[in-house]
């Protein structure tokens, strides 16, 4: 086991993290979405260490992070599509990952054998300084052990990665809190495979149209293949039984279900609704869909820490960033939804 150091992101610490990456090692670093587990995207050995540290199946590809637009061209095959140029101009740096045809520079270990690669330019200043200092694109999945909720603080990364990586840069809590929007740019119309901070409406505003993949708000059917390999895995699920309760009578119904359930129970809801539950145990998720996006993963981790056996969550309107919230919450609940009319 190696020693895992947590460091404030001073210029000196960022330089050292960049040295680890240049030397083929893996480090934890903040982005505006969630923390990433970064390695040299052009070094297959380094990339394999990411899969090992995460316990991730080798058929799930990684996102490549760049800091400057000039770094994009060598990573993709052919000319930069007009659509991609428009999207980059509108949303980079920011929480948008574009799936594009990959060049020969991208190792198979990164793309998991696909002929495409997901690329994003994060907005977080520490992430950008790290990429600049490493002087190479950084491949990075979310810095959780496979199957756990994505980490939104450096402590979450330490929980999952202690002894597995040499260093974590601590940039404080992540602003968005859910992973980036993954977009199949060249589909017609462009298709969101994973919703995030850049919404379908924002994308349609730039390109004229945008579709959302069917798998976003329901489980894959028997025999159905996932367009985004990550969507076929069970994700984010707490150890306890999580149910989403929707409809106009959700709060009443949650109270009844809570009172009837044995053991340690907890309710997830917008902060403003907490008083509806009286003395019952509540984990408020901040205000609105933005608050829920920011706090959902931390809340799911806490459910395991308190040993919650039954978790009841209010549902959120699946528009704007609420679509990302309902996608993550749905997957954590194995899409088990109770309707309270
Ligand atoms: O916000 C984020 O995107 C974070 C931060 C660290 O940047 N990263 C992240 O990476 O969430 P990861 O590996 O946890 O999720 C990447 C998702 C997976 O669902 C994967 O299947 C999908 O993107 N993906 C990656 N490359 C793809 C490709 N070429 N085609 C289709 N899906 C792809
Ligand atoms: Mg992930």
**Which atom of ligand 1 has the smallest separation from the CA of 178?**
1
Averaged pLDDT score across all residues of the chain: 96
> Ligand 1 pocket test: which of 33, 168, 230, 327 has the largest number of ligand atoms within 8 Å of its C-beta?
230
Residue 57: nearest ligand to its CA?
1
Q: How far apart are the C-alpha atoms of 122 and 239, rounded to whole Å?
A: 31
Residue 47: nearest ligand to its CA?
1
Res 233 pLDDT > 70: no
Cβ atoms 252, 269 nearer than 8 A: no
Give the distance (Å) from ligand 1 centre to CA of residue 152: 16
Give the distance (Å) from ligand 2 centre to CA of residue 322: 18
Which tens digit of pLDDT belongs to each residue from 160-200? Answer: 999 999 999 999 999 999 999 999 999 999 999 999 999 99
Which tens digit of pLDDT belongs to each residue from 264-285? Answer: 999 999 999 999 999 999 999 9
81: which residues sit within 8 A by CB, 6+ positions away?
100, 185, 186
pLDDT given at position 264: 98
Terminal Cα distance for the chain, rounded: 53
Torsion sign, CA atoms 96, 41, 34, 113 = positive
Residue 178: nearest ligand to its CA?
1
Question: Using CB atoms within 10 A of its CB, is residue 290 exposed (0-12), middle (13-18) or buried (19+)?
Answer: middle
Res 65 pLDDT > 90: yes
Model confidence band, residue 218 (pLDDT cutoffs 50, 70, 90): confident
pLDDT given at position 235: 77
pTM over 0.85: yes
> Ligand 1 pocket test: which of 29, 114, 179, 195 has the largest number of ligand atoms within 8 Å of its C-beta?
179
Q: How far apart are the C-alpha atoms of 247 and 269, rounded to whole Å?
A: 13
pLDDT given at position 222: 75
Q: How far apart are the C-alpha atoms of 308 and 296, rounded to whole Å?
A: 15
Q: Whose CA is nearest to atom 29 of ligand 1?
A: 117
Q: Whose CA is nearest to atom 6 of ligand 1?
A: 36
Which tens digit of pLDDT belongs to each residue from 9-20? Answer: 999 999 999 999
331: which residues sit within 8 A by CB, 6+ positions away?
234, 235, 236, 237
Which tens digit of pLDDT belongs to each residue from 289-327? Answer: 999 999 999 999 999 999 999 999 999 999 999 999 999
Res 107 pLDDT > 70: yes
Q: How far apart are the C-alpha atoms of 309 and 134, rounded to whole Å?
A: 44
174 lines ligand 1 (CB under 6 A): no
152 lines ligand 1 (CB under 6 A): no
Cβ atoms 292, 316 nearer than 8 A: yes
130 lines ligand 1 (CB under 6 A): no
pLDDT given at position 120: 98
pLDDT given at position 241: 97
Structure-model confidence comparison of residues 204 and 231, the more confident one: 204
pLDDT given at position 248: 96
Cβ atoms 94, 32 nearer than 8 A: yes
């Amino acid at each position: 086991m190696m020693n895992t150091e947590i460091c404030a992101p001073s210029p000196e610490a960022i330089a050292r993290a960049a040295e680890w990456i240049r030397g083929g090692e893996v480090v934890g670093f903040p982005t505006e979405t969630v923390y990433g587990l970064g390695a040299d995207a052009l070094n297959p050995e380094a990339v394999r260490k990411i899969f090992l540290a995460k316990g991730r199946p080798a058929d799930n590809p990684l996102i490549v992070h760049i800091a400057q637009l000039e770094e994009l061209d060598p990573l993709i095959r052919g000319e930069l599509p007009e659509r991609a140029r428009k999207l980059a101009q509108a949303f980079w740096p920011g929480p948008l990952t574009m799936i594009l045809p990959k060049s020969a520079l991208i190792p198979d270990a990164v793309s998991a054998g696909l002929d495409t690669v997901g690329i994003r330019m994060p907005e977080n200043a520490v992430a950008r300084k790290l990429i600049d200092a490493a002087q190479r694109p950084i491949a990075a999945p979310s810095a959780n052990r496979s199957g756990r909720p994505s980490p939104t603080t450096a402590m979450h990364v330490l929980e999952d990665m202690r002894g597995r990586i040499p260093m974590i840069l601590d940039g404080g809590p992540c602003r968005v809190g859910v992973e980036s929007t993954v977009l199949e740019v060249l589909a017609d119309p462009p298709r969101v495979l994973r919703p995030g901070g850049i919404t379908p409406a924002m994308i349609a505003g730039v390109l004229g149209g945008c579709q959302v993949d069917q798998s976003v708000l329901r489980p894959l059917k028997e025999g159905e293949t996932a367009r985004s390999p990550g969507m076929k895995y069970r994700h984010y699920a707490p150890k306890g039984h999580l149910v989403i309760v929707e409809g106009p009578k959700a709060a009443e119904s949650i109270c009844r279900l809570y009172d009837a359930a044995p053991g340690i129970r907890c309710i997830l809801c917008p902060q403003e609704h907490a008083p509806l539950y009286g003395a019952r145990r509540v984990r408020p998720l901040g205000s609105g869909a933005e608050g829920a996006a920011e706090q959902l993963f931390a809340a799911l981790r806490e459910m395991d820490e308190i040993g919650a056996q039954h978790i009841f969550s209010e549902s959120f309107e699946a528009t704007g960033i609420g679509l990302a919230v309902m996608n993550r919450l749905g997957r954590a609940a194995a899409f088990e939804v109770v309707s309270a009319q």
